[in-house]
Structure 1
Amino acid sequence: MSSFDGLGYEEFRRMAGDTSLNQHEKIGFPSWYRDGYEKAIFRDITGKLTNINGRDKTILDIGPGCAGLPRLLIDHSVACGHSLVLLDSPEMLSHLPHHKGVTKIAGFYPNCEQALDGWKGKFDAILCYSVFQYIFVEANFWKFLDYSIELLASGGQMLIGDIPNISKRKRFFSSSAGIQFHQSFTNSTDVPKVDFRSVETHCIDDAVILGVIMRARAQGCDAYWLPQSPSLPMANRREDVLIVKT
């Protein structure tokens, strides 16, 4: 199986059951990438995916994992009276608490139509956070996008968040701020090597993100390319896409 950083659906299933890994490592992050940042990440999400701030909404979280972020969404949804659907592997979902109004569906998105077709046109908000890079390699990402738009209600929003963009990363590491960041991180005087002419296989770049935006707009949606808050740990090399079904 080939996927981003060697990870994919089956590998995440294995990691979810690995008792030697903490909750951040189970979802593919070292602890310092997420520990202490999850509330700030959730604030950034709610500032963009604004439909989840209302009452009695229907929400889908694609690949929530098992760390703190889905727990914040669960607590928020329960408090707001939302109907929340969590879709991930059974191993990941087993770590998350059960609550009234929270439905867990085990499966690999977007190849899960049998479980989700009943919600077509009903979701007020869809969240896909730190997951698109795996779907991009392991699945048909046009099907991912097209099916997600089908699931959205009129006025529904989808946030494809925390997208690692190799083009943004190159721009950052060719800047003086990026060079200083790299040298501080590596405790060295090395200058990052950046080749703007190379195409990295299995990596998301500006062209992919622009393609997602244009395809969503071609289906009658509004779509926006958004920066992350500078307070987030990887804001200098990750970005978000917000899609609104009109």
Structure 2
Amino acid sequence: MASPNRFEHIGFDDFRRFAQDESMSKYERIGFPDSYRQGFEGAIFEDICAKLSNLKKTSRTVVDIGPGCSDLPKMLIDLCASNEHALTLIDSQEMLDLLDNAPFIDKLPAMYPQCPEWVAAQAGKVDVILCYSVLHYVFVDVSFFRFLDVSLSLLAPGGQMLIGDIPNISKRKRFFASETGTQFHKDYMNTDEPPNVEFNRIEHDQIDDAVVMSLIQRARAQGFDAYVLPQNEALPMANRREDILIVRP
């Protein structure tokens, strides 16, 4: 099993390489050790569907930014087939080649949002945008605000965007400063030493509360409703990750 540190500070080109590496598991190819995803993706998809209520409707336009190649996009493909949604998958060609083809699926090989012609054609037409376990990689390749602004321009009235599985270093610190988090750390690391937690310290190249709240504020300033939501407790990293839901009224 790969070390979690193996997947720090990686970007779009790294995932293109991972997609072609047959020595890696389907979870490692999307940046996770097997223990972080194996056996959990059903619960993850259930949590996603609970937040993106438009997925439960029929004949909607759905976009998945950075779907990767694990079972999660396959679950989305099956749901879209059942509910007659039109689905666009945006990722590297190498990742997209690992996913099924179907008449209702449009595969867009691009490093989003660097696909201006597609963005212009879809402006104001998308009912669901899913971006799961991707935002922290945007750090490497694209401006946060450009990523957000382009995405908001796609949403139709009533459209929903879920920026999911955000590793918030501030939330992580709050957890590991608690009694529950301290015991979790000791059990996981097999140690008697408590975790080292430093508040009021800038962590470079990390998403913190300031980043999360700035995305919320920027979306609201453009006329969208935006919320920070907890993950279901059954999810593997719910104690240190959270989601942002944005809705066009």
With the length of structure 1 as denominator, give the TM-score of the two structures: 0.97
1:188 counterpart letter in structure 2: T
Paired residues for 1:111-150 under 5 Å:
111-150=114-153
User: What is the deviation of 1:99?
Assistant: 1.3
Q: Percent identity?
A: 53
Show the counterpart of 2:3. Answer: none
Indicate whether 1:104 and 2:71 are aligned: no
CA deviation vs aligned residue, 1:143-180 (integer Å, no higher than 9, x gap): 11111010010110000000000000000011111111
Q: Detail structure 1 runs of 4+ shifted over 3 Å in the superposition.
A: none
Alpha-carbon distance between aligned partners in 1 of 2:46 and 2:23, rounded to the nearest angstrom: 30
Q: Distance in 2 between matches of 1:87 and 1:137?
A: 17
Per the normalisation by structure 2, the TM-score is 0.96
Contact 2:9 2:140 in 1 (8 A): no
Which of 158, 162, 165 aligns to 2:161? It is 158
Give 1:197 deviation, angstroms: 2.0
Residue in structure 2 matched with residue 47 of structure 1 by the alignment: 50
Aligned residues: CA RMSD: 0.9
Tell me what 1:62 maps to. Answer: 65
Contact conserved, 2:9 with 2:137, CA < 8 A, in 1? no
CA distance in 2 between counterparts of 1:194 and 1:138 reads: 29
Which residue of 2 is the match for residue 32 of structure 1?
35
Displacement of 1:113 in angstroms is 1.3
Once the two structures are TM-superposed, the CA of residue 110 in structure 1 deviates from its matched residue by: 1.2
For 1:179 and 1:243, locate their aligned partners in 2 and report how far apart those are by CA, in whole Å: 33
Secondary structure of the residue aligned to 1:6 is coil
8 Å CA contact 2:41–2:72 kept in 1: the answer is yes
Match of 2:220 in 1: 217
Partner residue, 2:12: 9
Which whole-Å CA distance do the structure 2 matches of 1:141 and 1:170 have between them? 22
Deviations 1:196-224 (A, max 9, x none): 02111110000111000000000000001
1:175 paired with 2:178, answer yes
Q: Distance in 2 between matches of 1:109 and 1:100?
A: 22
Q: Cα offset for 1:90?
A: 0.4
Where do 5+ consecutive residues of structure 1 fail to align? none
* Equivalence for 1:92: 95
Q: Which amino acid aligns with 2:132?
A: Y
**In 2: Cα distance, 1:128 partner to 1:135 partner:** 11
Structure 2 gap ranges (5+): 1-6
* 2:29–2:69 CA contact under 8 A, matched in 1: yes
CA distance in 2, matches of 1:137, 1:9: 8
